[in-house]
C-alpha cells in the first residue's frame, strides 16, 4: 500500500534536535522543509541531507517568512529556541523573544496556513524546584529561570491555540536531551556535550555545585521517536496536551562523571565550582502519560546513550584532525 505523503516543517532544523528529526523524517521517506536563523544552529549539522530537503534561513519571528514556510505543511515540529538556563539569566529579553514570542509566531503562521498539528519542544524546567519526585504533568509548574518561564509560556500558547482555534497542538516536555550533534563549544552548552569533548581532550571538566544534582538525561533517539508518535497519535489522545519525554531514571553529575571516565579514557579529576544561578537540584520524570497516550517508550538507556555520544564526539575529533 502506498503511504500517504505528509509534509513536515522542522523549526530549528540546523540545531541538535532539529537536525536529528530531519534525518529521521527523510529516512522514513517524508517530505521535509527546515528553517533556522543559524543563531545557535549550524548548517554543517545538515551537510549530507541538505540536497534532500527544502532548507531556508528564516527566523521564526519573521511572520511573513514563517507563513510562507508553513504553506502546504501538515506537521510543524517546533524545535527552534535559545535553549539555555544561564543564557536566559544573562539575557531574559532575548530568551523571551526566541522562546515565547517565537513560539507564538509559529502558532499564528501554522493556524493561518491550516497546518494539521504542531508539536513543541517544551522543557522540564517548567517544574522548577518542587520537592516531589518524579515530576508528573498534573503538578503546578514552578519555573525558576527566565528560560523556564519563556518555555512554559510557549506551552500555554500551544494549549490556547488548541482551545481557541482548534489547531491540534502537542507539547513534549523534554528532560535534558543529549547525543550526537549537541553543540559542545559554548559555555552554555549542555553538560554532557561539554564533558564528553573536554574529557576526550584530556581537559578537566567543572561541576557547578557539589555534583549531587541529578537529571533524567534522555538520549536523542528517544526524543525523535516521541515527536513521530506525537504526529501519528489520534487527536483525542494528545491534542492540547502536555507530555513528559524522559527515561524515568536519573543520574547525579558525580555518577555521570564516573561513567564518562572509562568511555573517554580520561584519568584526571573533576573541578568543583560555584553553583549556577537558576539551576534546579533534582529532576526525574514520570512518563506514564506519554506511554499511555502516545505509545512512547525510551528506546536507548542512559549508559548506551552515553557510549554512542562519546563515540560520535571521538569520530568527529578524528575527522577534524585528519
Give the residue numbers annotated as catalytic, written as ranges. Answer: 147
Among 78, 194, 241, 293, binds ligand UD2 (CB under 6 A): 194
Residues 233-262 that bind ligand UD2 (CB under 6 A): 253
Q: Is 205 helix (H, G, I), strand (E, B) or coil?
A: coil
Among 15, 18, 41, 83, binds ligand UD2 (CB under 6 A): 83
Identity of the residue, 44 or 212, whose beta carbon is nearer to ligand UD2 in the bound complex? 212
Show contacts with ligand UD2 in window 140-169 (CB under 6 A): none
Q: Residues 270, 204: contact at Cβ < 8 Å?
A: yes
76 sits near ligand UD2 (criterion: CB under 6 A): no
Query: Angle, to 10 degrees, between the axis of helix 191-200 and the axis of helix 253-264?
Result: 40
Within 10 angstroms of residue 27's Cβ, the number of other Cβ atoms is 9
In whole angstroms, how close is the CB of 157 to ligand UD2 at the nearest point?
Answer: 17
Number of Cβ within 10 Å of residue 1's Cβ equals: 3
Q: Which positions from 25 to 64 touch ligand UD2 by CB under 6 A, shown as an x/- string?
A: ----------------------------------------
The residues pairing with 120 across neighbouring beta strands, listed in sequence order, are 78, 171
- CA distances to 25, 78, 231 from 217, rounded to whole Å, are 23, 21, 23
DSSP state of 127: G
List the interface residues with ligand UD2, window 85-124 (CB under 6 A).
Answer: 85, 123-124
Pick the closer one to ligand UD2 by CB: 109 or 146: 146
Question: Which of 160, 163, 130, 159 lies closest to 144 in space, CA to CA?
Answer: 130
Stretch that binds ligand UD2, among 28-36, 55-63, 77-85, 90-98 (CB under 6 A): 77-85
C-alpha 224/C-alpha 132 separation (Å) is 27
Binding ligand UD2 by CB under 6 A: which of 7, 215, 241, 293? Answer: 215
- CA–CA separation, 137 and 142 (whole Å): 12
Enumerate residues 6+ apart whose C-beta is below 8 A from 42. Answer: 14, 183
Nearer to ligand UD2, 108 or 122 (CB): 122
196 binds ligand UD2 (CB under 6 A): no
User: Which residues bind to ligand UD2, rule: CB under 6 A?
Assistant: 83-85, 123-125, 174-176, 190-191, 194, 206-208, 213, 215, 253, 276, 279-280, 283
Amino acid at each position: 500500500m502506498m503511504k500517504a505523503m505528509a509534509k513536515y516543517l522542522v523549526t530549528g532544523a540546523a540545531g541538535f534536535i532539529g537536525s536529528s528529526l530531519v534525518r529521521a523524517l527523510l529516512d522514513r521517506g517524508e517530505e521535509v522543509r527546515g528553517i533556522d536563523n543559524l543563531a545557535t544552529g549550524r548548517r554543517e549539522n545538515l551537510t549530507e541531507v541538505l540536497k534532500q530537503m527544502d532548507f531556508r534561513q528564516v527566523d521564526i519571528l519573521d511572520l511573513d517568512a514563517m507563513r510562507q514556510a508553513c504553506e502546504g505543511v501538515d506537521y510543524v515540529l517546533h524545535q527552534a529556541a535559545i535553549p539555555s538556563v544561564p543564557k536566559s539569566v544573562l539575557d531574559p529579553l532575548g530568551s523571551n523573544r526566541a522562546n515565547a514570542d517565537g513560539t507564538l509566531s509559529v502558532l499564528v503562521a501554522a493556524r493561518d496556513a491550516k497546518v494539521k498539528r504542531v508539536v513543541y519542544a517544551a522543557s522540564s524546567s517548567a517544574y522548577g524546584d518542587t520537592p516531589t519526585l518524579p515530576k508528573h504533568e498534573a503538578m503546578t509548574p514552578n519555573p525558576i529561570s527566565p528560560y523556564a518561564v519563556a518555555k512554559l509560556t510557549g506551552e500555554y500558547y500551544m494549549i490556547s491555540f488548541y482551545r481557541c482555534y482548534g489547531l491540534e497542538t502537542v507539547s513534549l516536555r523534554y528532560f535534558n536531551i543529549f547525543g550526537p550533534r549537541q553543540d559542545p563549544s559554548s559555555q552554555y552548552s549542555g553538560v554532557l556535550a561539554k564533558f564528553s569533548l573536554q574529557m576526550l581532550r584530556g581537559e578537566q571538566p567543572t561541576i557547578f555545585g557539589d555534583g549531587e544534582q541529578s537529571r533524567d538525561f534522555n538520549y536523542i533517539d528517544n526524543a525523535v521517536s516521541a515527536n513521530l508518535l506525537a504526529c501519528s497519535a489520534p487527536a483525542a489522545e494528545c491534542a492540547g496536551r502536555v507530555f513528559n519525554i524522559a527515561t524515568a531514571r536519573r543520574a547525579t553529575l558525580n555518577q555521570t562523571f564516573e561513567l564518562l571516565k572509562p568511555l573517554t579514557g580520561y584519568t584526571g579529576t573533576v573541578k568543583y565550582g560555584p553553583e549556577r544561578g537558576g539551576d534546579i537540584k533534582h529532576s526525574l520524570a514520570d512518563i506514564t502519560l506519554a506511554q499511555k497516550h502516545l505509545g512512547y517508550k525510551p528506546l536507548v538507556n542512559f549508559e548506551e546513550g552515553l557510549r554512542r555520544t562519546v563515540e560520535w564526539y571521538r569520530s568527529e575529533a578524528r575527522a577534524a584532525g585528519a
